[in-house]
Structure formats: structure tokens, C-alpha cells
């Protein structure tokens, strides 16, 4: 008999599986195993809200960079926009990016109003990116996909960080 053997180890509780071993049903260790359904739902809800907040901050940072590049007349930004001029789009994306970063931070801090601001900024940003898609289509579609994930997370789980009402 060796140390760690359930039969010879006096510190091992025979009702509990050994660390790293398969559980009683052979499923392996699961961090949510044995939790009530409402606790699992709350963990999922908070995870999606944190994800939406981080993605909103990321998209906002990208918009700030794009806005600054357009305003400064950077050579990598192409002036093939649907309407208006590059300078106007630059200011729009700069201001909109700042709003998105503020909303993302507020969502992660649990502010209920931030979910509405985040939804509005993600929705308008998706439309703005589609109207600027002629310039850089792959980049615009990637930002639209990130906006769609933010919208999903906020629509499904948005609001205050208190107990879920589901």
C-alpha cells in the first residue's frame, strides 16, 4: 500500500474522490458540479456581463484608435466612405469609442444604466461599421461580430448585478 491509496491513507475521506481522479460517475471534476441551478444561472449571467463589458472596452479602444488615425490624416486610412468625409468619421469614432469604454467600465462595475448605454453604442457602432465597410471590410465585419456578442450579452443578462429575476 502507498500513500494516497484510499484504503491506507488515514487523511483521505472515502466518500470524496481523490484529487485528479474521476468522480463517482466517471465525469471528472467540474467546478459547477453540485451547485444549485440558480447559482449556476447567476455565474453564467455575471460571466456574460463581464464578457460584454470587456468586449465593449476593446471595441471602444479600437474605435478610439481608428478615430485618431482618421483625424490625424494617417496614410493607412482610406477615404472611401459611404457619406461625409474622413475627418467627420474620425471625430465620430473617437467620441463613440470613448462612450463605449465608459459604458464597458460601468457595466463591469455593475451600473444598471450602463447596459442601456452599452446596447445603444454597440448597435449604432455596428451600423456605422457597416457603412464604413467599403474601406476595410474584414476589419469592419470583425467589429460588427464583436458588437453582436456585446448586444447578446447585454440583452440576455443586462441590468443590475443583483440577484437574477429569472
Here the cell at position 47 is 460571466
Reported pTM: 0.67
Nearest alpha-carbon partner for 157 in 6, 37, 47? 47
Task: Tell me the C-alpha distance between 53 and 139, whole Å.
Answer: 20
- Expressed in percent and rounded to 5, the helix, strand and coil fractions of the chain are 60, 0, 40
Give the three cell numbers for residue 39.
447559482
Lowest mean pLDDT among 47-56, 77-86, 119-128: 77-86
Domain ranges, ordered by start, for the chain: 38-157
pLDDT at 79: 56
pLDDT of residue 158 exceeding 50: yes
Residues 160, 163, 164, 166: is their CA dihedral positive or negative? negative
pLDDT in tens, 2-16: 555 555 555 555 555
Amino acid at each position: 500500500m502507498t500513500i494516497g491509496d484510499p484504503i491506507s491513507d488515514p487523511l483521505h475521506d472515502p466518500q470524496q474522490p481523490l484529487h485528479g481522479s474521476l468522480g463517482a460517475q466517471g465525469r471528472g471534476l467540474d467546478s459547477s458540479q453540485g451547485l444549485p441551478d440558480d447559482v449556476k444561472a447567476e455565474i453564467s449571467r455575471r460571466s456574460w456581463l463581464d464578457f460584454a463589458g470587456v468586449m465593449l472596452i476593446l471595441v471602444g479602444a479600437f474605435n478610439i484608435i481608428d478615430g485618431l488615425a482618421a483625424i490625424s490624416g494617417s496614410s493607412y486610412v482610406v477615404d472611401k466612405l459611404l457619406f461625409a468625409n474622413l475627418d467627420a468619421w474620425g471625430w465620430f469614432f473617437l467620441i463613440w469609442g470613448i462612450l463605449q469604454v465608459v459604458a464597458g467600465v460601468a457595466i463591469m462595475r455593475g451600473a444598471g444604466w450602463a447596459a442601456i448605454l452599452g446596447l445603444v453604442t454597440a448597435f449604432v457602432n455596428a451600423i456605422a461599421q457597416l457603412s464604413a465597410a467599403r474601406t476595410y471590410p474584414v476589419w469592419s465585419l470583425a467589429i460588427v461580430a464583436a458588437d453582436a456578442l456585446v448586444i447578446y450579452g447585454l440583452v440576455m443578462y443586462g441590468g443590475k448585478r443583483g440577484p437574477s429575476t429569472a
